[in-house]
Structure 1
Amino acid sequence: MNKIIHIYTDGSSKGNPGPGGYGIFIETFFSNSYNRKIISQGFRYTTNNRMELLSVIVGLEKIENKKQNIVVFTDSKYIVNTVQKKWIYNWEKNNFHNKKNVDLWKRFLNLFYKHFVLFQWIKSHNYHYINDYCDRLSVEATQKKNLKIDYVYEKKL
């Protein structure tokens, strides 16, 4: 039996831009075993789309072995459409000319090419218990002390 990995993600910002955070729930199924990881982090000043994308990136970074079968569940049409409609390949070909969050999209692609990743869109705030949990994690992360700095975003200001 192959290992199957599900990564549930959500990102948020209070104000856009404003304090932001992400929440991630990773579950791994292999043979008769089941493992999970829960991750969240807050940032002092960022955007919702950056946090949505960073949640996917951090989730993928936690997968140590290459060429894994991964399904990413997200409520972000920004991410799902970019990948499923193959916009990302044209963006990359054009060196992300006039695109936002270039630093994160490049970081994402390095991880995306290492695995077999599918994206599944989930309607937000629609009583999907894991998506709702990730939403709560992302919001709570914005309220923590010692928020991280999104250096790339803040540098542009």
Structure 2
Amino acid sequence: MTKVVVFTDGSSRGNPGPGGYGAVLRCYDPTGKLYERELSAGYARTTNNRMELMGVIAALEALKRPCEVEVHSDSQYVVNAFNQHWVDGWKRRGWKNAKKEPVKNPDLWMRLLDAMAPHQVKFVWVRGHAGTDLNERCDQLAVAAATAPRATLLDDEGFAD
């Protein structure tokens, strides 16, 4: 199984406001040759947490076959949802949190779970803006996407104020 290392980040200018995500995927072929792919997109009105989720979703959806994936994110929201098994509880409770309130962004959590299904995924938290090269690159991609001209930004159809 191919091992892929993914770094992701999300950004929004206002929360809500224009936002974007960035992702960098890296893997080596059997000869040791490095392959790298960058992904990003911007949205007209969204939130930072939605963009953090979209970075991971976009990276996983870009994979063409089942892989062993190590996702690095500076979003504790995303990483803890899996490493602390919050998602398992949300699903058991019908997408309600421990306070019996609706979970935010259920559309993206479900999409992320679908994107993860064919893969073996491990989440690793990295401190943001701490000089980690690929995390910094993802931040640059996310900010550039969020600040792109309005006419080029996508609609975040699942976002509701």
TM range (shorter): over 0.9
- Is 1:123 paired with 2:122? no
CA offsets, 1:35-76, max 9 Å, x none? 11111110010000000001000100011102x110000000
Aligned residues: 153
**Equivalent of 2:105 in 95, 101, 106:** 101
Aligned pairs for 1:46-125 (under 5 A) are 46-66=46-66, 68-97=67-96, 98-125=102-129
User: Hey, what does 2:157 align to over in structure 1?
Assistant: 151
Distance in 1, matches of 2:78 and 2:68, equals: 18
Aligned pairs for 1:20-35 (under 5 A) are 20-32=19-31, 33-35=33-35
Distance in 2, matches of 1:35 and 1:129, equals: 16
Gaps of 5+ in 2: 97-101
Alignment-mate amino acid for residue 154 of structure 2: K
Alignment-mate amino acid for residue 47 of structure 2: T
CA contact (8 A) 1:74 1:122 kept: yes
Distance in 1, matches of 2:140 and 2:56, equals: 16
CA shift, 1:30, in A, is 2.5
Aligned pairs for 1:137-148 (under 5 A) are 137-145=141-149, 146-148=152-154
* Structure 2 SS opposite 1:148: coil
User: Hey, what does 1:6 align to over in structure 2?
Assistant: 5
Gaps of 5+ in 1: none
Give the TM-score, by structure 1 length. 0.94
* Structure 1 SS opposite 2:69: strand
* Structure 1 SS opposite 2:129: coil
User: Hey, what does 2:99 align to over in structure 1?
Assistant: none
* Structure 2 SS opposite 1:151: coil
- Is 1:37 paired with 2:37? yes
Alignment-mate amino acid for residue 77 of structure 1: Q
Q: Percent identity?
A: 37
Alignment-mate amino acid for residue 89 of structure 1: D
Distance in 2, matches of 1:109 and 1:99, equals: 15
Give the TM-score, by structure 2 length. 0.92
